[in-house]
Amino acid sequence: MRLGIGLPTYLGNVIDSRTVLDWARRAEKASFAAVAVHDRPHADTWDPLATLAAVAAVTERVRLATASIILPTRDEALLVKQAAVVDRISGGRLDLGVGVGARANDFELFGRPFAGRGREFERQLARIDELWAGAVASEKSGTQLGPAPIQRPRPPLWVGGYAPAAIDRAVRYGDGYIFGAAGVAGMAAKIPVIREAAAKAGRSDFPIAGLAYVLLSTDAGEIADAELLLTRYYQHLHKPFNDLVAVGDERAIQATLAAYREAGVDRLYLIPVSRSADQIERIAAVADVRPEGA
């Protein structure tokens, strides 16, 4: 299981640019495989692709993941253009995670219809492939939407969602499936269904990724602050904090990682619910993160 770190862009105005870029640099130095960013338009959450363009300029190796962009709120042609720029700036390190979205106010903000978003999502997924194929085909002439991405035929596309149709969309259009912060039990229940659908489609090598909130701490003050930060993002927590976040000492976090690995997750983006970037190195030590190939 490859591990990444979620950047604190979900905290919006609580953080500044130096914090986000410092987290990205430290995650790369600690040998995490990727850094990931959230998307929630109707909030002060940072824009995912704008953030990754900045992160691309201050990192060299770490993969850059959107986890995930709410695609039906966006114009897919503009998204393809922006994503290709990030891919080029980063030297081909973008992983584009997309989802259908579940909050009506995110759609209202962009003047997009909430009803029928699943059908729109499928149309956009098909068009993304067409647009990127055109960008690659016209790389020399520059006569179609571009620029062309570095990765071919396009950056890896990770498709997520919780409706039953999400699995079919991921297998048909994506290079992998991505969960939100569904928890170990939620992922473990669904992963066999995803594997079966992928196998039936002749895609035995079909990776699965997910997000997990984590706090390596037993300090009451740190835990209380983490609950405050997560409540700020969600406005209200639909589950108790300890059910949403893996909290505890080194053994507790190791047990959590082992559970995700046992569930069959291939790539896990750990999101420290903390103001302190020190969590990055501490988690790396507990998880025994090493450079690829080491």
Which CATH number covers residue 55?
3.20.20.30
- How big is the chain, counted in residues? 294
pTM, two decimals, is: 0.96
- Return the pLDDT at 163: 85
* 293 falls within a domain: no
Rounded to 10°, the helix 17-29/278-287 angle is 20
Using a 10 angstrom Cβ sphere, with 0-12 exposed, 13-18 middle and 19 or more buried, the burial of residue 204 is exposed
* 163 falls within a domain: yes
* 53 falls within a domain: yes
* 292 falls within a domain: no
How many domains does the chain fold into? Answer: 1
* pLDDT tens per residue across span 227-266: 999 999 999 898 899 999 999 999 999 999 999 999 999 9
Contact status, residue 259 vs residue 185, Cβ threshold 8 Å: no
* 279 falls within a domain: yes
CA dihedral defined by 163, 164, 167, 173, rounded to 10 degrees? Answer: -70
- Return the pLDDT at 94: 98
- Return the pLDDT at 55: 98
Low-confidence ranges of the chain (pLDDT < 70): 293-294
> Cα separation of 100 and 201, whole Å?
22
- Return the pLDDT at 293: 62
* pLDDT tens per residue across span 81-101: 999 999 999 999 999 999 999
- Return the pLDDT at 291: 84
* 294 falls within a domain: no
* 175 falls within a domain: yes
User: Which residues span the domain enclosing 34?
Assistant: 2-287
